[in-house]
Amino acid sequence: MPEINDRDLIAKLLRATQAGKVSWQNTGTPDQFASSYGGRWTLAVDKSTDQGTDYYYLTITNSQGEEVLRIWDQTDNVLPKLFEQARRHALKVDEAIGDLMKEIGEAEGPEISDEDIPF
């Protein structure tokens, strides 16, 4: 298997999440979203806040609950973006916005062109 660094891993995960290939879900821990894959691994992306500063980290645990990898947010990775995408996916934010757009569209009625205006 080719070696992959933390930055690339997170970037790939972000793209997979944006493409809807990773199914993130809420957990009982605040600001934590998890997704299981491969029949034996669980990914979790977390945000913790300490003295007004947000910290992000990604963990991979095996089916026994043992943590096998932890990646902290660094200046060159996109972990906060991944967290935000995971949150949007888990909370179905896009669906909520989509439904809202549908409602607003129906309420607004057909678009008005210049010819419809009599002056």
Partner 1 sequence: MHKPDWVDVLIALLPLPLIILFLLIPEPFQPAARGWIGKNWGNLASVWGLGVSVYVLWVAQGAKTAAKKATEEAEEAAKVAKANARTRGALEDLQVALAASRQVSNHAGVKNWQVVRLKAEEVMESCRIIVNRWEDSTALNDSKNSLNQAITMMRTIAEEASRDTPNLQRIIKTQHGAHDHISAVEGKVQKEQDLRSA
Site residues (CB under 8 A) for partner 1? 25-30, 32, 34-42, 44, 61, 63-65
Nearest C-alpha neighbor of 45 from the set 78, 4, 20 = 78
Residue 104 dihedral angles phi and psi, to the nearest 5°: -65, -40
Q: How far is the CB of 84 from partner 1 (least distance, A)?
A: 20
Q: How far is the CB of 108 from partner 1 (least distance, A)?
A: 34
Of the two residues 10 and 34, which places its CB atom closer to partner 1 in the complex? 34
Q: How far is the CB of 63 from partner 1 (least distance, A)?
A: 5
Of the two residues 56 and 78, which places its CB atom closer to partner 1 in the complex? 56
Of the two residues 5 and 23, which places its CB atom closer to partner 1 in the complex? 23
- How buried is residue 97: exposed, middle or buried, by Cβ count under 10 Å (0-12/13-18/19+)? exposed
